[in-house]
Amino acid sequence: MRRGSRLGLSLALAAGLADAAGAAPRAVLVGSYEWQGEGERFGGFSGLELADDGLGFIAVSDSAAVFEGRLVRGPDGVVNGVDSGPPVVPPSHHGTPVAAPMDDAEGLAIGPDGTIYVSYESYDRVVQYRDAGATWVAEFWPEAFAGFELNAGIEALAIDASGALFALPERYGPPGTPTPVFRMQGAQWDQPFTLRRDGDWCPVGADFGPDGRLYLLERDYWPLIGFMSRVRRIAIADGLVTADEVLFETGAGVHGNLEGIAVWRDSAGAVRLTMIADDNFLPAGRTEIVDYRVEE
């Protein structure tokens, strides 16, 4: 399909979803910032969590390193700096630092008690840590994860108000196959529902917002042009999806490879979407931190 036709189809789809939901919500760009750091483990960020004030953060890299710090925001709320401590390399269950090929971290979620959950690809599992990733607690290898295709495992983790952990794979089954949503309650896993998959859009990040809804970050890629990004807002009630809206969708190359998302409420009461880009440890990539504001 030609690029123009594909973009037109995407925009038409977004408009159709909004019309079906009634009043169309939307998210507008607040600003973006390129975080430049040093060290062989800096970069490759694929998971992000923020404190309620939108400043304190924890991010996880594809190298498995966990970074903790604070965002610096100007009076307009735009990120204009990052203060971060040294990376923490989590231990494996053997007590030694997690290393290749077991270190491909992707998803990140933090429980009410500060417990950190990280999903890993290649050897598909979810690992539980304390102390900002410094202390191994447990790891989970659900049988359902064994069927994931290579490099398409759990990319998105999110924890709801009850403490249940939700996990979504990047790809699953043939094109058009609904995305299964796995849930862990205690140490028990189930699959309460699926989400539709539109075209080549793939889940890469998720977070439950202060409004209790699930915000799903998805990406698409056009070779030689760049990444496309969009965020869906999903309402869940009694284990069923009751609403599913596209809040924004970018053209190719507008942002970097956005993979992590954190949702919070700013001082004006608006829901903010803060995302971080994975530079894939490539010179041409960039570690971009992007903010959008949801406007009703």
The tokens for 4 are 């123009």
Q: Which residues pair with 91 in a beta bridge?
A: 97
| 265-290 pLDDT, tens digit each | 999 999 999 999 999 999 989 999 99
pLDDT at position 25 is 63
Which residues fall within 8 angstroms of residue 165, CB to CB, at 6 or more apart?
109, 111, 117, 126, 157, 158, 159, 183, 184, 185
Residue corresponding to tokens 């009043």: 23
Q: Is pLDDT at 161 greater than 60 in this prediction?
A: yes
| Cβ atoms of 145 and 176 closer than 8 Å | no
The Cα-based distances of 181 to 111, 139, 149, 158 in angstroms read 18, 19, 16, 11
| Cβ atoms of 90 and 108 closer than 8 Å | no
Region 15-42: mean pLDDT is 74
Q: Which residues pair with 167 in a beta bridge?
A: 157, 182
104 pLDDT band, cuts 50/70/90, is very high
Q: Is pLDDT at 5 greater than 70 in this prediction?
A: no
| Cβ atoms of 293 and 270 closer than 8 Å | yes
pLDDT at position 176 is 87
82 pLDDT band, cuts 50/70/90, is very high
The Cα-based distances of 279 to 62, 112, 127, 256, 268 in angstroms read 10, 30, 23, 7, 32
Region 166-173: mean pLDDT is 95
12 pLDDT band, cuts 50/70/90, is very low
What is the C-alpha to C-alpha distance for residues 167 and 59, in angstroms, rounded to an integer?
A: 17
Which residues fall within 8 angstroms of residue 78, CB to CB, at 6 or more apart?
30, 31, 33, 291
pLDDT at position 24 is 56
| Cβ atoms of 197 and 176 closer than 8 Å | yes
Mean pLDDT of the chain: 91
Residue corresponding to tokens 């123009």: 4
Q: Is pLDDT at 50 greater than 90 in this prediction?
A: yes
